[in-house]
Every structure is written in structure tokens, then in C-alpha cells.
């Protein structure tokens, strides 16, 4: 499946994976992603953490960083000048 097909047919891809199919996504003819059904063994192997724990770590990391912009208006001006 191409990346464009995935974008346009995400629901079809998810239904196919839920039926046990495996999907390789390509970008410009090269494989870039692989979708397959999730199993308990795969989850344990990849050490996926509970969302609460991951979110807590994200919030802590954000507290330690200095904001790039002083206000939302400054951030919006920056994004618009780059367009």
C-alpha cells in the first residue's frame, strides 16, 4: 500500500489489520512502515508503557525546557512568516 493509499483508505487498512493481515506502506516505491496485528507478546517485547506514565514523562520534560516563544501570538507570527 502506498502512503497516499494509506492516507485515503486508513479505515480499510485498519480493518484489514484487525482481520490479521499485514501491510507494508511504501513511499516513492520504498518500504517505510509495516502494520500488523498487535499481540500481548509484541507489547511486552517493545515495552510499551501505560499512557499515564508516558504522559507524566512528557509533562516533566516540558517543564525542564524553556519555551521557544513568549506568547502564542509570537508563535503564530513565526509560523506565518515561514509559509
Residue carrying C-alpha cell 509570537:
74
Asked if the structure places residue 26 within a domain, the reply is yes
Q: Domain residues for 27?
A: 3-48
The answer to whether residues 74 and 60 touch, using CB atoms and an 8 Å cutoff, is: no
CATH code of the domain containing 32: 3.40.1620
Could you report the per-residue pLDDT of 19-69, keeping only the tens digit for each? 999 999 999 999 999 999 988 777 676 666 788 988 999 999 988 988 888
Whole-model pTM: value is: 0.49
Question: Which among 16, 55, 56 is positioned nearest to 36, based on CA atoms?
Answer: 16
Instruction: Evaluate whether 25 touches 33 at the Cβ level (below 8 Å).
Output: yes
For residue 62, tell me if it sits in a domain.
no
Burial tier of 25 (Cβ tally within 10 Å: 0-12, 13-18, 19+): middle
Q: Is residue 79 part of a domain?
A: no
Position 36 scores a pLDDT of 92
27 domain residue, yes or no: yes
What pLDDT sits at residue 17? 95
Amino acid at each position: 500500500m502506498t502512503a497516499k493509499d494509506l492516507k485515503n483508505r486508513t479505515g480499510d487498512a485498519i480493518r484489514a489489520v484487525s482481520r490479521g493481515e499485514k501491510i507494508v506502506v511504501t513511499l516513492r516505491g520504498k518500504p517505510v512502515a509495516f502494520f500488523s496485528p498487535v499481540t500481548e507478546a509484541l507489547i511486552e517485547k517493545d515495552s510499551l508503557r501505560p499512557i499515564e506514565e508516558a504522559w507524566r514523562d512528557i509533562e516533566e520534560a516540558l517543564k525542564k525546557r524553556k519555551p521557544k516563544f513568549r506568547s502564542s501570538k509570537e508563535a503564530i507570527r513565526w509560523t506565518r512568516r515561514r509559509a
